[in-house]
Structures are given as structure tokens and as C-alpha cells.
Chains A and B, each alone.
Chain A
Amino acid sequence: MSDSGPLLTLITFLPLLGMCAILFIPSRQKEWIKIVSLIFTLPSLVLGIKMLIEFDPQVGYQFIEKAPWIPAFNIHYYMGVDGLSVPMVFLTVLLCPICVLASWGIEDRIKGYCAMFLLLETGMLGVFCALDLFLFYVFWELMLLPMYFLIGIWGGPRKEYAAIKFFLYTLFGSVFLLLAVIAIWLATSPHSFDMTQLNEQLLQSGVGATFRNLCFLAMYVAFAVKIPAFPFHTWLPDAHVEAPTAISVILAGILLKMGTYGILRVSYPIFPDSAKWFAPVMVMIALINIVYGSLCAMAQTDLKKLVAYSSIAHMGYVMLGMASFTPAAMNGAVFQMFNHGTITAMLFLLVGVIYDRAHHRDIDGFGGLAAQTPIYAGITSLAFFAALGLPGLSGFISEALVFLGAFPTWPIITILSTSGIVLTAGYMLWTFQRIFLGPLNEKYRTLPEINARELVTLVPLAIIVLFLGIYPAPMLNIFDHAVRELLNRIL
């Protein structure tokens, strides 16, 4: 596998190169800045597809690159992907060019925006590729900075509040992560950050169950903020409402996945017993996320806030699957992470489309738009039906897998969670009715139809949602093996 060159390094750091390139373009050349940043997101996408093709699902970590970084502390530059990270890396490189396209309307200080965005991409890809715990932490914090500025400078009316809330909330979690990382490092001898070996090394050094559970809890707080799991979720609606469209897409599409990815990549393999110990709590939180998130979503009148709360509910399915420890549920959870990434990205892009035209997002302020903008209505209905888990679209497969796998482990909680199926249908269709059905609101008699650039951002996602709904096996095959390996560790 080493003959493919430094593939992951290229994927991760090409956007950073793009950021440097952009710094040399004069800020007047707004079009050129956008074009160059689009160009620099594309090689990662191409290489990401190459990785997807060359990846061998039956082997563990692949495309490994390892070099000493800070030898004094046994820190390595250690990159590699397995079945769990490949879909996430692919999702990231897929969404980033789409987001650049979706940002085409931004004129204000575009140079800084694009530079921050490319830095963000590097940070996100690094998190998904890092196998050294210290490196993971560095990338984890690296993302935070550009995100803060992207919300705080290019956001909506309450952007400062939202940005600071997001920043402090995440930093609050990161502190616990840092504590756990340091504790793990101190507990291992020789001191190590190698995520693939830490479990065995901790066992050898004979740390107690209390220590492991505490470390697990500390990490859980960091990851729960990102997921976001109840009750750490309230940064999400604010951040989403204020962030520009593309940043909402990144937030919901990728950043939220880092929470669950972190649990699967870091917490579960290093502390398998603690994972089982914590599962009853996690499954309760999952249930709360699903029911509470759905009901809160139903109550919103701001379309973007509604989608934000629906994300909370949908991430609940991921947690339900992760806490069940059956192959079906775990596969469902990973698949749901990918599917939610594509579906919710579509939803936020669609919100952006209507906001750019009507300059508001009040659900009750529209009405009858299906007659005026049929193509937009059609794509929205596809995204809505995907979100409510209609068979034939990808969301159904992952939700069904989660339920099928979770039922043997947690029968009562799974039955209670299925109420989410009805609630989601309720608020999605209610919203659809209020915006698109009924007599046309006279105000919008001249509302323009969705344009070609917006279609280019939406159609690839729609195709993926449809394809994986009909034929999910290619994607499931990628992580099935890794999921089973992980389960072998835990059980």
C-alpha cells in the first residue's frame, strides 16, 4: 500500500497550499480568488476518489505515512485510513468544492473567507486521517480557529454571539480531550500517542478501570459537544442560523461527524470496556436526541433552525447505533454519518437558495412556491423525503440498519426511538406544505427559479442519495470489515 505515495498528505495539505496561493492574489480579483480556491479543492476530490477506488476493505489501516515529528515526546506524523475514515474523508473532499461553489455570492472580504475555508478543509481532513493522538488533537484544534472567524465575520446579525458561543463551547470540550490525551500519554510506558497501539499499551501498564472510565468520560464530553449530544447541543442552532450557507453545510455535514467519528476512532478502541460501561447512558442520550430534537425541530419557524434541530435528531440515530454493539447497528451508524452528511448538506444548500432570493427564512412567510419554482420544489422534496427516511433514498437504509441492529440490544429504547420516524415525517411534510403547497403567496410571483450554479451544487448530492438508497452495498462494503474489527475489540 505504500507505493501510492504520500496520498493522505497530499489530500490533506493541498488545500493549505491553495490558501498560500490565495494570499498572493490581490483582494480586488474576487473572481480569481474564488476560482483558485475551487481549483485547489478539486485535486483533493480527485485523490479522494482514487483512495476510494484503491482502498481494500479487507485490510486494516492503509496509505500509512509515519515519520517522527517530536521524538522527545514520541510524537509522530502518523497518517492512515481504515474503513471508518474513508467515507468521512470522501465526504469532506466531496462537500468542500460544493461549498466553494455555494459561496460564490459572497463579495465581502472574499480573500480572507477563501483562505479560512481552505485552512478549515486541511484541519478537517487531518482529523480524519490522523492516527497519532497528538496529531489528532492538533488538527482538532486547527479547525476551530477558521470556523470561529468564518462564523464571526461572514455570519448573520448575531454572528459575534454565535461565534463566541461555538468557540467557547468547543474549547470547553477540547480541554477535557487534552486532559485525557495527557493522562493517556503519562499512563503509557514508554509514553506513546499511537492510537493503534494505545489499548494494548494501557493494558500492559495496568491502569485501573476508574482511570479508563474517567478518560473515556472526559473524551466523551469533547466529542458530545461536537455531535452535538443533549444537553451540549444549544450552540448548534445559533451557529447554524448565523453562519453563511456554505459554513452551515460544513458544520452539519462534517463537523458534527467528528464527534461520532472521534468516539469510534479514539474512545472505543482505546477504552473498549468503558464503551460498554457507558453504553446505557449513551443510548438514553440517543433517545433524547431523537425525540427531543424532532419535537424542537417541529416547533421552529426559522427554516434553518428547523434543519439544525433535525440534525440533532438524526445524529441521535448514529448514537443509538454506536451504543448497540451489533454489526448491523454499527454499520448503520457509520452509514448514517455519511448519509446525514449528504442529506443535511442538501437541506442547508436549499435553505441558502431560498434565503438568497426571499431574504428571510420564516417558514410561514412563503406558501405555494411549488407553482412558481417547480424544480426547486422537486429537489427540496427529494431532500425532505430523504431526511424522513423514505425507502429508495439513502437515509432509509442507514436508519433501518440502526433499528435492526439496536433492537436486540435495547428493545424498549429502540421502540421508543421509532416514534422519531413519525415525528420526522410530521415536521418535514408540515414544513413542505407551508412553503410549497397551497395558493401562491402573491409576494413571490416573480421569485426566480433555482439557477445552474446552485443545481451543480445539489445534483451530485442528490445522485449519491438516490444511488446509495437503491444500491448501498458498495458503501457498506467499505466499512463493514472495520466495523466488525472494532466490535471484536469491544465484545
Chain B
Amino acid sequence: MHSVVEICLIILFLPLISSTALIFFNKRLPRGGDLLATACIGIPFCLAWYVFYRVIAVGHDPQFLITGAMQWFTIGPGNAGWGFHIDNLTAVMLVVVTTVSFCVHVYSIGYMRGEDYYGRYFSYLSLFSFSMLLLVLCDNLLLLYVSWELVGLSSYLLIGFFFRKHSAADACKKAFITTRVGDVGMFIGLLMIYRQTHTFNYIEVFRGVQEAVQSGAWSETTWTIAGILLFCGAIGKSAQFPLHVWLPDAMEGPTPVSALIHAATMVAAGVYLVGRLYPLFSPDALLFIAYTGLITAFFAATIAITQFDIKRVLAYSTISQLGYMMTALGVGGFAAGLCHLMTHAAFKSLLFLCSGSVIHAAHTQDMREMGSLHKKMPVTFWTMLIGAAAISGVPLFSGFYSKDAILASALGFGMEHPNHRIIFIGLLIGAGITGFYMFRLIFMTFFRAPADDHRYRHAHESPRIMTGPLVVLAILSAGAGWFALGEHGWFERLVVPYSVGTAGVAPAAVEADGHSAHNIAMILSIVMAGAGILISAVFYYWKTCSAERWAKALGPIYRLVYNKYYIDELYKKTAVGGTLIAMRILAVFDRVVIDGLVNFSAYFVRAWSYISGAFDLHVVDGAVNGLAWGTRLVGTISTLFQSGVVQNYIMKVVAIVAFILLFQNILTTFL
């Protein structure tokens, strides 16, 4: 199986080569290099399917694993390595990433035609593909962190692609910084693990943490904290509550980018992280993950109901679906969560690309200004309908199988731990809401009477280069569930958490209790999804009820949800505002107090020197001058006696002698 490593090398580095070539030479290459970039992801796309075929279809071994590593640099007691960790999960992820990326590259050739910096766009896309492939292929935590940041970089570059717009410039900065908050948590988790195990390699880390927990070097709490810190990275990247705020704004990027990065792959990296590092999470940490996912899934779904921007609806829907995956992993539905990752990648990228096609035709993102487009854009309509059916969990479509599996594992978990039954109930209601907002989108966009006649008349189906990828993704969205989970359940048997071997660390995974949980969950989810779709039809297709009136009746609740629970405003006031205030205070402190002290000491020395100068001039020098003056005075007086006339001298001598004799007589008389 050595060749697999070599194939993966080609898969990994072709996009990097195209990215480097395009950033420097895009003006010199024909067509801005778009064909080169597409070829450089097309070949990995084929190779990834080949690896998938070799590994999964032929091999079919749950324990399959290839690693290959070389030393990168030394870190104190341990080493950082460059290496691959290729198992079944990797093979699945390779297929997901290359497939979506390839479709998006092809679609972009049509969508981005004529834009400024066309070549640079493809360079960034290739850079992203490289980073994402490194993320799924790498064999150690440090490299994971490296690629984690690199996908963040490409996301930054692509969100800010239309950098002349203020909103895009704001959004890319917000995305990078918000996710970095989570990344810092992940980095601290990494520090904890490295301190204990002196290695980054996944397998050695799993073993080291297991030993630490068993030997008591790590308490249960430490283990949980380390897990939650690692999960912080996933909270940021996968836009989980409370760091989800960047993802809706990230829709400022070109729509194909939203499909690739902010729907299918990068945001799912958090889910992949939890799956990949499954043995590092203690039962409590997994519970934390489950509840984070639940809150996210539910609350993002409620926001999605109220939005009118077609891409924002999809963005909140993405956040919500990522919450589903997290919850699944948290309650032990390992295969279910990762399977949903895969099916979601197919149908959500499809939905985004369809929305791009709609935007391309209608020149607006506001669903209130669209309508009746199903006649004008049949391919877009039908593929988008398939995507909506898949995400809503309509039976036989891919989303149905994976979501059903998630609900089943949540129900199983709830049966085992009655305290946590709310997870299942929350997800079930969420499933209904999903059906509602998805078909609200479909009805508003494609069926309502055209809101804007001018727009309607000019709307047209997109070119083949754009509809082609839609059809491919629609086929995958419809069918991916069958061969992945479906009746055979071989996905579940193949993609299993890495087992360290002993029960000590293996998470308290609760396998769904056979058929009973499965059947109950399936029936309930069908009912809920059907109800959601039906209600949306009542509101938006048959118009039996007026959405506006309901919104008015709900008043403050509606406004709260419509304004995304005011979380952005809260952050602006607290975290951002606090930092800005702190920076101003410190800058003033630095200038006034610290530098003031320096300047004060300078003034102090100068003042002192002035005083001592004055003292020197008047007192010290004054004394010197005074002495000289006194001497001169004495001299002046004594010159009075120096007349040079002999007679005067004799007279003075006589007078003095007479005075002395007189003085002597007086003295002798009185004594």
C-alpha cells in the first residue's frame, strides 16, 4: 500500500503548485490560469476517488491505517514531524474535499468570469484546497494546527476578495480574529498535551493521554479541560455558539467560496477534528460538545427562519447543521456525525451553488425581490429542490439517512441517560424548523409571484459550466446516503473511532439501542420534517397565513430572533469595546505616566543643574569673587599708607611708637 502515500503526496501538492504558479504568473497564463487550477484539483479529485476505491471498496478494513512521517524540527524533549495519517476517515474526507473543490472550481469559471483579479481568485482557491487537504492528511497535532491556521488564511483572503467593499474588508478581519480566539484555546490544549506526552503524533498522543489518565498523572478534570480546550478550535472554525458570529458575515465572499469553505469543508473541519481526536475527549468533554452542538443547532435554526438574504439563510442553516454533527459526536454517534458531514458537504455546497446561480440571474440576494424563478431556471430549481429535500430529511435523500442516524443516537443516549433526553427533543424540533426554513427559501425564491418585474424578465438560466456541477452535486446529494449509511450500514462499520485498545480511554460511546431507537427516531423525524415543510407551504405557497402578520403578532420575540439575539451587538460592546478602551487607556498611560516619568527625570536633572548652576555662580563663585574683592579692599586701604614720602613714614612711626607707649602706660596703670 506504499503507493497510497505517494498518491496522497500528489493529491496534496498539486493544488499548492497551481496556487504558487498562479499568484506569480496569473497574468501571463492563458485565461488567468483558471484551467491550470482546475486541472490541479481535477487530478487529485480522480486520485482521491481511486484511493477511496482502493481503501474502502476493496480493502474494507476498519483498522486500515497507513502512516509515513519524516522529522521536521526538534522541540525540546520531542520532535515535530511531517507525516500522513491515512485511514478510512481520511479517505472519505479526501473524496469530500476534492469533489466539492473540483465542482466549485468548474462552477467558478462561469461565475467569476470577467471579475477583477480572476487569476488571483483561483490561486486562493488552490491554496485553500492545499491547506484543507493537509488538514485531513496530516498525522500530528502541530501540523493540524498549521493547516488549521492556513485554511483560516485562505478563508480570510477569499472572504475579503471583493476588498473594495467595506463590508467585505470588515468580514474577513472578523472571520480571522474570531476563529483565532478559538484557535488560542486549541493551542493551549495542545500545550497541555505536549507537556504530558512530549509528542504531537496522533497515535502516540492517544496512547500518552490514556496512560496519563490511567496512571493518575492526569485527573479526570484535567482530561476534560484539555478536551474542551481542543474543542475551542472547533467552536471557532465550525462556527459553534458562541463564536458563530463570523460565518454569516463571511457570506461577503464570492458565492462559490461560501459553498466550498463556509459550507462544505473548512467549517466542517471542526467536526473532523472532534472525530479525529475522539480518544482525547473525556465523557464530560463529550457531553460539553453535545450541548454546545445542541444549542447551536437549535438557535441558528431559529435565526434562519427570519432572514431574507438567501445566503444568510443558508449560512445559519450551515451553523445549525454543524451543531447537529457536533451533537452526534458528543452523544457517541461517531459514524452518524461524520456521515452527516459528508452528506451535508454535498447538499449544502449544492444549495450554495444554486443560490449563486439565482443571484447571478436575479442580481439580488434578497429573497423578497425574487419569485417565480422556477420557470426561468429549471436546472437550478430542480437541483436546489433536491438539496432542500436532502437537508430537510425527506426520505430516500441523503440527508435523511444521516440525520436519522444522528437522531437515533441522540435518542439512544437519552434512553441511557434520562437526564439528557432534552438533546433528542431539541434536535427533533430543530429538524422541523429545518424543513420550514428550507422550503420557505424555495417558495420565496422560485414560486411566489415575481416581486420585481424588471428582474424577473431579465432572469435567465446559468451557463452549462455552472449547471454541470449542480447536477453532479445533486446526484450526490440524492444518493450519498444510500451507499454511505443506508441499509448495509457499512459506513458505520468502516469509520470507527481510533481505538487505543483498552476501555480506559475509549469514550463512553453509547451505541443506539438497535432497531427500536432507530425506528422511533426515523418515524418522528419524518413527521417533524413533513410538518415543517407543510407549515412553510401554508405560509409561503398557499398563503393561508400571512407571515408578516405573525411576525407582527410575535413582536419582540421576532425582533430578537431577526436581530440574531443581538449577539453581535453584545460582542461589539463588551469584547471589542473593552479591548479598544483598554488600548486607549494603556496608550495614554504609556505616554503620560511612563514616558512622563522619563521626561520628568530629565526635567528634574535639568532643574537641579539649573539650581546648582545658580549656586555655583552666586555662592561658590561668589565666595571666590568675594575673597578677591576683600583682598583688593585690604590692598586699597593699605595703599593709603604707602605714600613713598620718607617724612610721612617717620611721622607714622613716631605716631605708632607714641601710641604703643601710651597704651603700655595705660595698661600698667590699671593692672
Chain A residues in contact with chain B, CB under 8 A? Answer: 165, 168-169, 231, 233-235, 292, 295-296, 298-300, 326-329, 331, 368, 370-371, 378, 385, 390-392, 396-397, 400-401, 403-405, 407-408, 414-415, 418-419, 421-423, 425-426, 429-430, 433, 436-440, 471-473, 476, 480
Say yes or no: A422 contacts B177, CB within 8 Å: yes
Say yes or no: B74 contacts A298, CB within 8 Å: no
Q: A433-B169, A480-B74 are in contact. Are A421 and B180 (CB under 8 A)?
A: yes
Say yes or no: B166 contacts A438, CB within 8 Å: yes
Contacts of A295 in B (CB 8 A): 579, 582-583, 586-587
Say yes or no: A425 contacts B180, CB within 8 Å: yes
Say yes or no: B145 contacts A440, CB within 8 Å: no
Whole-angstrom CA separation of A436 from B72 in the bound complex: 35
Contacts of B597 in A (CB 8 A): 231
Say yes or no: B177 contacts A425, CB within 8 Å: yes
- Judge whether B594 is part of the interface by a CB distance below 8 angstroms: yes
Chain B min CB distance to A25 (Å): 39
- Judge whether B188 is part of the interface by a CB distance below 8 angstroms: yes
Contacts of B145 in A (CB 8 A): 391
When A and B form their complex, which 10 residue pairs have the shortest distance between CB atoms, in order from nearest? A328-B76, A299-B587, A437-B169, A391-B146, A234-B595, A299-B583, A407-B191, A327-B76, A295-B583, A298-B583
Say yes or no: A404 contacts B164, CB within 8 Å: no
Closest to A371 in B: B164
Closest to B156 in A: A429
Say yes or no: A436 contacts B163, CB within 8 Å: yes
Say yes or no: A425 contacts B164, CB within 8 Å: no
Contact among A296, A397, A421 with B184 in the assembled complex (CB-CB below 8 Å): A421
Closest to B191 in A: A407
Say yes or no: A331 contacts B76, CB within 8 Å: yes
Of residues 144 through 158 on chain B, the ones whose CB sits less than 8 Å from some CB of chain A are 145-147, 149-150, 153, 156
Contact among A328, A378, A390, A423 with B149 in the assembled complex (CB-CB below 8 Å): A390
Closest to B148 in A: A391
Whole-angstrom CA separation of A393 from B594 in the bound complex: 34
Whole-angstrom CA separation of A423 from B156 in the bound complex: 17
- Judge whether B346 is part of the interface by a CB distance below 8 angstroms: no
Whole-angstrom CA separation of A296 from B149 in the bound complex: 25
Contact among B75, B184, B586, B598 with A328 in the assembled complex (CB-CB below 8 Å): B75
The A contact surface, by secondary structure, is helix
Contacts of B169 in A (CB 8 A): 433, 437-438
Whole-angstrom CA separation of A351 from B614 in the bound complex: 47
Contacts of A392 in B (CB 8 A): 146, 150
Q: A328-B75, A425-B177, A438-B164 are in contact. Are A418 and B188 (CB under 8 A)?
A: yes
Say yes or no: B598 contacts A438, CB within 8 Å: no
Say yes or no: A165 contacts B164, CB within 8 Å: no
In this complex, how many residues of chain B approach chain A with their Cβ under 8 Å: the count is 50
Whole-angstrom CA separation of A405 from B188 in the bound complex: 12
Contacts of B194 in A (CB 8 A): 404, 407
Whole-angstrom CA separation of A299 from B585 in the bound complex: 9
- Judge whether B160 is part of the interface by a CB distance below 8 angstroms: yes
Say yes or no: B164 contacts A426, CB within 8 Å: no
Say yes or no: A397 contacts B73, CB within 8 Å: yes
Chain B min CB distance to A431 (Å): 10
Q: A422-B177, A426-B579 are in contact. Are A391 and B149 (CB under 8 A)?
A: yes
Chain B min CB distance to A207 (Å): 32
Closest to B160 in A: A437
- Judge whether B173 is part of the interface by a CB distance below 8 angstroms: yes
29 sampled A-B residue pairs with Cβ under 8 A: A168-B602, A169-B598, A234-B590, A234-B594, A234-B595, A234-B598, A296-B586, A296-B587, A298-B579, A299-B584, A299-B586, A327-B77, A328-B75, A328-B76, A385-B153, A390-B153, A391-B150, A392-B150, A396-B146, A414-B191, A421-B180, A425-B180, A429-B176, A437-B168, A437-B169, A437-B172, A438-B164, A472-B73, A476-B73
Beyond A371-B163, A421-B183, 14 additional contacts (C-beta under 8 Å) are A235-B598, A296-B587, A368-B164, A371-B164, A390-B153, A404-B75, A407-B194, A419-B184, A421-B184, A425-B176, A437-B160, A437-B164, A438-B169, A473-B71
Chain A min CB distance to B176 (Å): 6
Whole-angstrom CA separation of A425 from B166 in the bound complex: 19
Closest to A230 in B: B594
Q: A421-B180, A437-B160, A438-B163 are in contact. Are A415 and B188 (CB under 8 A)?
A: yes
Chain A min CB distance to B129 (Å): 15
Contacts of A440 in B (CB 8 A): 164
Say yes or no: A403 contacts B187, CB within 8 Å: yes
Closest to A423 in B: B579
Chain B residues in contact with chain A, CB under 8 A? Answer: 23, 71-77, 142, 145-147, 149-150, 153, 156, 160, 163-166, 168-170, 172-173, 176-177, 180-181, 183-184, 187-188, 191-192, 194-195, 579, 582-584, 586-587, 590, 594-595, 597-598, 602
Chain A min CB distance to B538 (Å): 45
Whole-angstrom CA separation of A480 from B595 in the bound complex: 38
Contacts of B173 in A (CB 8 A): 429-430, 433
Task: Name the residue in A328, A414, A437 with the highest tally of chain B Cβ atoms < 10 Å from its Cβ.
Answer: A437
Chain A min CB distance to B140 (Å): 13
Say yes or no: B583 contacts A418, CB within 8 Å: no
Contacts of B587 in A (CB 8 A): 295-296, 299-300
Contacts of A429 in B (CB 8 A): 156, 173, 176-177
Whole-angstrom CA separation of A324 from B146 in the bound complex: 24
Contacts of A329 in B (CB 8 A): 76
Whole-angstrom CA separation of A420 from B256 in the bound complex: 34
Contacts of A328 in B (CB 8 A): 75-77
Say yes or no: A165 contacts B598, CB within 8 Å: yes
Contacts of A437 in B (CB 8 A): 160, 163-164, 168-169, 172
Task: Name the residue in A165, A233, A433 with the highest tally of chain B Cβ atoms < 10 Å from its Cβ.
Answer: A433
Contacts of A433 in B (CB 8 A): 169-170, 173
Contact among B72, B74, B187 with A418 in the assembled complex (CB-CB below 8 Å): B187
Say yes or no: B142 contacts A439, CB within 8 Å: no
Closest to B72 in A: A473
Say yes or no: A326 contacts B76, CB within 8 Å: yes
Chain A min CB distance to B78 (Å): 9
Closest to A368 in B: B164
Whole-angstrom CA separation of A436 from B590 in the bound complex: 28
Chain A min CB distance to B21 (Å): 15
Closest to A378 in B: B23
Contacts of B72 in A (CB 8 A): 471, 473
Contacts of B191 in A (CB 8 A): 403-404, 407, 414
Say yes or no: B73 contacts A404, CB within 8 Å: no
Q: A295-B586, A296-B586, A414-B191 are in contact. Are A370 and B180 (CB under 8 A)?
A: no
Chain B min CB distance to A82 (Å): 18
Contacts of B598 in A (CB 8 A): 165, 169, 234-235
Contacts of B595 in A (CB 8 A): 234
Whole-angstrom CA separation of A291 from B629 in the bound complex: 65
Contacts of A415 in B (CB 8 A): 188
Q: A295-B582, A296-B587, A421-B187 are in contact. Are A404 and B176 (CB under 8 A)?
A: no
Whole-angstrom CA separation of A407 from B170 in the bound complex: 34
Chain A min CB distance to B242 (Å): 15
Contact among A165, A169, A292, A421 with B586 in the assembled complex (CB-CB below 8 Å): A292
Say yes or no: B76 contacts A405, CB within 8 Å: yes
Whole-angstrom CA separation of A168 from B604 in the bound complex: 14
Say yes or no: A408 contacts B73, CB within 8 Å: no
Contacts of A414 in B (CB 8 A): 191
Chain B min CB distance to A168 (Å): 7
Contacts of A438 in B (CB 8 A): 163-166, 169
Chain A min CB distance to B588 (Å): 8
Contacts of A426 in B (CB 8 A): 177, 579
Whole-angstrom CA separation of A300 from B71 in the bound complex: 42
Say yes or no: B184 contacts A422, CB within 8 Å: yes
Contacts of B164 in A (CB 8 A): 368, 371, 437-440
Chain B min CB distance to A120 (Å): 24
Say yes or no: A422 contacts B180, CB within 8 Å: yes
Chain A min CB distance to B305 (Å): 33
Contact among A231, A407, A476 with B74 in the assembled complex (CB-CB below 8 Å): A476
